Amino acid sequence: MDSGLAAVIGAAVGAVGGLGASWFTILGQRHQQRAERDRWRDDMRRQAYTSMLDCCERLSAGWWLAGDALRSKSSDEALREERYLRAHELWTEFNAAVAAVSVAGPREVTRAAEPLMDAVYELDAAGTDWWDVLRSGRQRGLTKWENRFDAAMVAIQAPRAAFRQAVREALDTD
C-alpha cells in the first residue's frame, strides 16, 4: 500500500470517527435538553399542584372560621363580615390556582381537579348564601343554610383525596 492510499484511508477513518463522535454529542445534547425540559415541566406542575392544594386548604379553613362566626350568636357583625370576606377572597386565589393546574396538566390531573373545583364552588356558594340570609336579618330557616354549608364542607373531602392521588400518580411519587 502506498503512502497516498494510507493517508486517504486514514482521513476517511478519521472523518467517520469524527462524524460518529458528533452524532453522539448531538444525541447527548438532545437527551440533556429533553431531561431539562422534563425537570422544568415537573417543577412547574409540582408548584401548580401544591398551590392548588394549599389554596384549597386555606379556603376550607377560611370557610370553617367563617362558619363558626356565622353560627355563633355572640359574634358581632364586623367579625362575621371580616371572616366571610376573607373566605370569599380565598375563592379567587383558588380559581387562579385551578387555572394554573389546567395549564400544567396532564389531563388526568385536570380531570381530577374539576370535581374538586365544583365542590369548592358549592362550599363558597353555600357560605355566601348563608351569609346573605343572615345579613338580611332573616332568622327563620337558618338551619337549612347551615346544613347546606356543613354538607358542602364534607363534600370536599372525596374530590380533594382524588386530586391528591392524581397528583401523586402524575409526579410518580405514589
Cis peptide, bond prior to residue 159, ω within 30 of zero:
no
Per-residue pLDDT tens digits for 131-164: 999 999 887 888 999 999 999 999 999 999 999 9
**What pLDDT, on the 0 to 100 scale, is given for residue 143?**
92
Confidence of residue 46 (pLDDT cuts 50, 70, 90): very high
Residue 32, Cα to own-chain centre: how many angstroms? 27
pLDDT score at 105? 92
Give DSSP secondary structure letters for 44-68.
Answer: HHHHHHHHHHHHHHHHHHHHHHHHH
Number of domains in the chain: 1
**Quick one: which of 133, 125, 131 has its CA closest to 151?**
125
pLDDT confidence of residue 174: 75
Q: What is the pLDDT of residue 50?
A: 96
What's the pLDDT at 65?
96
The per-residue pLDDT for 14 is 63
Cell of residue 55, nine digits: 389554596
70 is a domain residue? yes
Distance between CA atoms of 27 and 46, rounded to whole angstroms?
28
Residue 30 lies in a domain: no
Is 141 inside a domain boundary?
yes
* Range(s) of the domain holding residue 152: 44-170
Does this model's pTM top 0.85?
no
8 A C-beta contact, residue 84 and residue 134: no
| Domain CATH code at residue 119 | 1.20.120.660
Is residue 71 a part of any domain in this protein? yes
Q: Does 19 reside within a domain?
A: no
